[in-house]
């Protein structure tokens, strides 16, 4: 081969690799969108059983087409306290089986195009073009989002396979090159093979791509033997850990242990099986070591190695955690759930998981907002400096929650989200502003309580009873609102608006009664100002509860006509009227003032 031919071949290989990586990214993104937040939910719920964990790791890796992506996700989930390190071990082991799926998929490159038509169509050179056409039609048509996701998966798969075709065409002339034949003889050294497999996979951060390159060389040059391929494949398993190492930068020690476990599993498996293989090959000898390997043979070796490693190390999964604990002993005390931890950037690299984590963070925010308002209400009758400081600290946390969740969702909305994820994103975005405002009103109530305490103010007996009634109504609407947001239950949400209307009327009645008491001289102007401030904040709290309930109902129906919705439920709705009457009876203030 001339220098010109070598340069052109290198360009085609690099271009083919670029197509491969891009196609894999598009395809995995489409598959991940279709899965929605189910992967993240499954990781949280199904890791208590080792068999479920193994199947889960295998299945998610097939969907993501990357064991590294799953490991990065696990690092983020451990860093934010959602999962324990021990829960990730078997999932990681399952991921090593799941990544063999791509290797088998790439074996289609070896299908004989000289045979019957039906057999030729199994070769990516032909069917990838058909997939690309179908995918493009689905993406360009005015079809449902789900069909468009299917279209992007087909197009991504077609691009991936076309990348393999480019690499195949580029390396095919190498089989007649004496220089290339001489270079391959150096790979008879197993340690060099492991090193090359590790470095190449680490650089491109994709074991599927490096396996694809090896399969292409084997299939189209006919010069790669089993003895050469086995150490390289083992090295590729170690190289895939580089992404996990990078993702572990800047996380807590528990999250770093996930990367350590991933590396330990692959290194231990490689050391044991490479040592056994070489010892047997040097003493007894494997009859296949010198035979030429093809893409199917590489897939078999890759699968057998990962399955055997799983069988060997699965019973010792606790020892992998022990190794991680010895390498990274615990020194820091867990900080608990903070907005920063709940929205770890490593989790957010996968859009559906990011949306699910934002939803989870907003639920934490809802609970914190409820707790903060109730604490501030308790200060009105039982003043305590520690509680005042706690209310202030919680309000700061609510501000941070809103900032981090809002920023993340705005960034995510620039990406293509599934219909379900878009719905969740809209609901969360609309609700977090109201939760943050609840914190502001809690601060206002805390300041009012401080004023009452400092000035030693006291309400009249009737005013105290009226405040007790409306306070109980506020407690109920807060509890119901948090339950609505947690369960996304439209039936419970329907209870919020009638109670909010009752609170509005209670506010008006209490203010009117205060004027009457003021005229009788049983209340003072100073207590009147304080009473008015409390009622104003109570009314605003109930308004924000109403907004949150409305956001749950509207996003469930994919509509955002708040004004028309409220008009409809308030006027002419029998259900609303019945609930309004029930709450009015429940929260009735005394008639005398």
Tell me how crowded residue 213 is: count the other CB atoms within 10 A of its CB.
22
Contact 138, 154 (CB under 8 A): yes
Cα 266 to Cα 198, 239, 242, 323, 454: the distances in Å are 11, 9, 12, 13, 66
Claim to verify: residue 379 and residue 472 sit in the same structural domain: no
Claim to verify: residue 225 and residue 176 sit in the same structural domain: yes
Claim to verify: residue 179 and residue 263 sit in the same structural domain: yes
Q: How many domains does the chain have?
A: 3
CA nearest 65: which of 30, 38, 111, 89? 30
**Which pLDDT value is given to residue 580?**
86
Note the Cα 470 to chain centre separation in Å: 41
Claim to verify: residue 277 and residue 388 sit in the same structural domain: no
> Residues in the chain with pLDDT < 50?
332-337, 340, 562-563
Answer with the one of 327, 354, 375 that is the final residue of a domain: 327
Q: Is residue 587 situated within a structural domain?
A: yes
Residue 543: Cβ-neighbour burial (10 angstroms; 0-12, 13-18, 19+) = middle
CATH of the domain at 354: 1.20.58.220
Answer with the one of 299, 327, 355 that is the final residue of a domain: 327
DSSP SS3 for 592: coil
Whole-number Å distance between alpha carbons of 459 and 461: 7
**Which pLDDT value is given to residue 342?**
54
Whole-number Å distance between alpha carbons of 371 and 365: 10
Whole-number Å distance between alpha carbons of 22 and 295: 22
**Which pLDDT value is given to residue 278?**
87
**What is the domain range of residue 33?**
3-327
Q: Is residue 335 situated within a structural domain?
A: no
Claim to verify: residue 289 and residue 378 sit in the same structural domain: no
pLDDT single digits (tens) 279-317: 888 888 888 888 888 888 888 999 999 899 999 888 888
Q: Is residue 337 situated within a structural domain?
A: no
Claim to verify: residue 179 and residue 282 sit in the same structural domain: yes
Q: Is residue 470 situated within a structural domain?
A: yes
Q: Is residue 134 situated within a structural domain?
A: yes
Q: Is residue 333 situated within a structural domain?
A: no
Whole-number Å distance between alpha carbons of 196 and 202: 10
Answer with the one of 456, 476, 495 that is the final residue of a domain: 456
Tell me how crowded residue 472 is: count the other CB atoms within 10 A of its CB.
12
Q: 3-state SS of 186-216?
A: HHHCHHHHHHHHHHHHHHHCCHHHHHHHHHH
Residue 372: Cβ-neighbour burial (10 angstroms; 0-12, 13-18, 19+) = buried
Dihedral sign computed on CA atoms, order 420, 422, 423, 424: positive
Contact 109, 215 (CB under 8 A): yes
* Helix or strand run (H / E) with residue 287: none
**Which pLDDT value is given to residue 459?**
85
DSSP SS3 for 292: strand
DSSP letter (8 states) at residue 46 = S
Tokens, residue 173: 């002339």
Claim to verify: residue 495 and residue 351 sit in the same structural domain: no
Whole-number Å distance between alpha carbons of 30 and 51: 27
Q: Is residue 590 situated within a structural domain?
A: yes
Considering the entire predicted model, what is its pTM? 0.63
Claim to verify: residue 98 and residue 132 sit in the same structural domain: yes
Claim to verify: residue 368 and residue 472 sit in the same structural domain: no
DSSP letter (8 states) at residue 458 = -
Number of C-alpha atoms within 13 angstroms, CB side, residue 529? 7
Claim to verify: residue 174 and residue 309 sit in the same structural domain: yes
Tokens, residue 98: 């799941």
Q: Is residue 334 situated within a structural domain?
A: no
DSSP letter (8 states) at residue 174 = G
Whole-number Å distance between alpha carbons of 49 and 53: 6
- Phi, psi (5° rounding) for residue 292? -75, 135
Whole-number Å distance between alpha carbons of 151 and 342: 33
Claim to verify: residue 445 and residue 463 sit in the same structural domain: no
Contact 494, 472 (CB under 8 A): no
Look at phi and psi of residue 49 and say left if phi exceeds 0, alpha if psi is from -120 to 50, else beta: beta
Claim to verify: residue 402 and residue 261 sit in the same structural domain: no
Tokens, residue 577: 């009227």
**Which pLDDT value is given to residue 565?**
54
């Amino acid at each position: 081969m001339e220098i010109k031919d070598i340069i052109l071949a290198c360009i085609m290989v690099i271009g083919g690799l670029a197509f491969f990586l891009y196609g894999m990214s598009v395809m995995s993104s489409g598959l991940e969108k279709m899965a929605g937040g189910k992967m993240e939910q499954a990781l949280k719920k199904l890791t208590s059983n080792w068999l479920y964990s193994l199947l889960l790791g295998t299945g998610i890796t097939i969907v993501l087409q990357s064991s590294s992506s799953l490991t990065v996700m696990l690092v983020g989930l451990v860093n934010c306290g959602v999962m324990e390190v021990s829960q990730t071990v078997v999932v990681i082991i399952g991921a090593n089986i799941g990544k063999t799926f791509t290797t088998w998929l790439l074996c289609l490159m070896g299908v004989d195009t000289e045979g019957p038509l039906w057999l030729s169509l199994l070769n990516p050179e032909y069917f990838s073009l058909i997939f690309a056409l179908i995918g493009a039609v689905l993406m360009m048509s005015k079809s449902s989002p789900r069909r468009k996701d299917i279209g992007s998966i087909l197009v991504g798969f077609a691009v991936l396979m076309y990348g393999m075709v480019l690499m195949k065409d580029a390396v095919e002339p190498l089989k007649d090159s004496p220089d290339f034949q001489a270079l391959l003889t150096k790979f008879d050294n197993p340690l060099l093979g492991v090193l090359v497999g590790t470095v190449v996979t680490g650089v491109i951060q994709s074991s599927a791509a490096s396996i694809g390159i090896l399969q292409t060389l084997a299939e189209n040059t006919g010069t790669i033997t089993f003895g050469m391929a086995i150490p390289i494949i083992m090295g590729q398993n170690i190289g895939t850990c580089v992404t996990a190492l990078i993702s572990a930068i800047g996380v807590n020690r528990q999250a770093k242990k996930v990367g350590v476990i991933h590396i330990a599993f692959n290194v231990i498996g490689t050391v044991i099986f490479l040592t056994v293989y070489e010892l047997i090959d040097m003493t007894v000898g494997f009859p296949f070591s010198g035979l030429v390997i093809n893409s199917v043979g590489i897939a078999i070796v890759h699968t057998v190695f990962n399955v055997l490693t799983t069988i060997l190390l699965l019973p010792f999964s606790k020892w992998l955690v022990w190794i991680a604990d010895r390498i990274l002993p615990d020194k820091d005390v867990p900080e608990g759930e903070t907005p920063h931890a709940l929205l770890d950037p490593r989790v957010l690299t996968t859009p559906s998981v990011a949306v699910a984590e934002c939803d989870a963070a907003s639920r934490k925010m809802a609970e914190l907002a409820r707790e903060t308002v109730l604490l501030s209400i308790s200060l009105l009758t039982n003043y305590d400096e520690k509680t005042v400081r706690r209310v202030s600290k919680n309000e700061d946390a609510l501000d941070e929650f809103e900032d981090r969740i809002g920023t993340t969702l705005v960034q995510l909305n620039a990406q293509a989200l599934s219909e379900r994820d878009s719905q969740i994103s809209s609901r969360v975005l609309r609700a977090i502003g109201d939760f943050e405002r609840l914190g502001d009103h809690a601060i206002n109530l805390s300041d009012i309580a401080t004023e009452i305490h400092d000035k030693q103010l006291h309400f009249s007996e009737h005013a105290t009873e009226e405040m007790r009634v409306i306070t109980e109504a506020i407690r109920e609407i807060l509890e119901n609102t948090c339950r609505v947001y947690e369960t996304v239950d439209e039936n419970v949400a329907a209870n919020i608006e009638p109670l909010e209307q009752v609170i509005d009327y209670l506010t008006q009645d209490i203010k009117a009664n205060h004027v009457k008491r003021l005229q009788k001289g049983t209340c003072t102007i100073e207590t009147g100002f304080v009473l008015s401030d409390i009622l104003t904040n109570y009314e605003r709290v109930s308004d924000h509860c109403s907004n949150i309930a409305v956001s749950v109902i509207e996003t469930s129906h994919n509509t955002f006509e708040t004004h028309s919705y409220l008009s409809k439920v308030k006027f002419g709705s029998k259900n609303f009227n019945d609930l309004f009457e029930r709450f009015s009876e429940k929260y009735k203030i005394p008639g005398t003032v």
